[in-house]
Amino acid sequence: MSFFGNLFGNKKDKSALGIDIGSSSLKVVQLRKKHGAIVLETYGELALGPYGGVEIGQATNLPADTIGKTLTDLLHESNVTTVDCGVSIPSSRSLLIFIKLPRRNDPKEQKTIIELEARKYIPVPIDEVHLDWFILPDASTEAQTKSANTKPKDINVLLIAVHNNELKLLESVVQKAKLAATFYEIEIFSTIRSVIDEPVKPVMIIDIGAASTKVYIVERNVVDVSHAISQGGQDVTRSISVSSGVDIAQAEQLKKKIGISGEKGDSQSTAIENVFSQIFTEAKRVLTQFETAHRRSVASIVLTGGGGVTKELSTYAQTFFSVETRIAAPFAKTQAPEFIRPVLKNIGPEFSVAVGVALRKLEEMS
């Protein structure tokens, strides 16, 4: 599958490009600031399946040369006019770990303790990864801290590790496409930027990728929980294919065009529900575990990723969760012609990462 939207022609102003290199497709979004507003200039997507000898919508594992060629094709077909970009790092190719450590008043000592502790959790030699970390705010101790005017004894730390080989692959792709990338960002942080507006309360993001689903709970724009589920959009497609007797390509189209909106009990709806019920049941377990441990309620749930475009998915998801469940709408943060809004609404979940990367790049250029 491919689609492109060149909305404003070839502009010469400062534009920012966000690139999402997923397992089943590449997405690009080009934004520009005009009179303080964020303008959507162009966007595009190309499926990787045909380049890797598998069907559209199926996960691939392609070399840098092939991805670079695909990206070059995508940039040309979507009329991208800038080389200034940021690139996402797939969550499946990175490691997010939460640890609790004693607090130290000396920042250098704290840094040393965190980096030494990180070695216990990273399954490869530390010099083979790019390591980053953040000390997380602890909302549960804020009231106590303010009243007692003391700091809690422990800190919660989010460790982030990306293998050097993954970064080299992405750098090679960017080089082959003749682009200039100034940062590489793990996709969940891009998604947070494009789909979450809640400043304080916890929000759950269910990112339904091709090969797997990632569940995050985000509070104050910081990841507080990360959980992987081994099923994703391609499992839904295969289930439709088997139950309806159609090929994978047809099943992928049925998933998006009809989804769960068919007659109750028909083979297609049942096939889709069978997979998503397992995904949402596991996500609900994560939600319940968080609320019980932290004594705080999740305010809303956002469905994103390629699987998020399944028709009527939010309605079905709502039967599992007692809080508001909605489909991601990253393009709502941009200006675009009204006639294209229905299209952008439908494809929004697939472009959450690319929009988020472009937003960061645009801010960097301001």
Structure confidence by residue, pLDDT tens digits, 185-216? 999 999 999 999 988 899 999 999 999 999 99
8 Å CB contact between 147 and 136? no
Strand pairing class (154-163; 129-136): antiparallel
8 Å CB contact between 213 and 303? no
* Alpha helices per DSSP H over 18-128: 49-52, 64-77, 107-118
- Domains contained in the chain, CATH given: 2-92+164-365 (3.30.420.40), 93-163 (3.30.1490.300)
Q: Which of 217, 228, 229 is nearest to 289 (CA)?
A: 217
Each residue's pLDDT expressed in tens, for the chain with a length of 366 residues: 444 555 554 445 589 999 999 999 999 999 999 998 999 999 999 999 998 888 888 889 999 999 999 999 999 999 999 999 999 999 888 999 999 999 998 999 999 999 999 999 999 999 999 999 988 876 554 544 444 456 668 999 999 999 999 999 999 999 999 999 999 999 999 999 999 998 889 999 999 999 999 999 999 889 999 999 999 999 999 999 998 899 988 888 888 888 887 666 678 888 889 999 999 999 999 999 999 999 999 999 999 998 888 888 999 999 999 999 999 999 999 999 999 999 999 999 999 999 999 999 999 998
User: What letter would DSSP give residue 137?
Assistant: P
* Alpha helices per DSSP H over 131-177: 142-148, 164-176
Q: Which of 21, 40, 44 is nearest to 31 (CA)?
A: 40
Between CA 72 and CA 70 the distance in angstroms is 5
Helix, strand, coil share (%) of the chain residues, nearest 5: 45, 30, 30
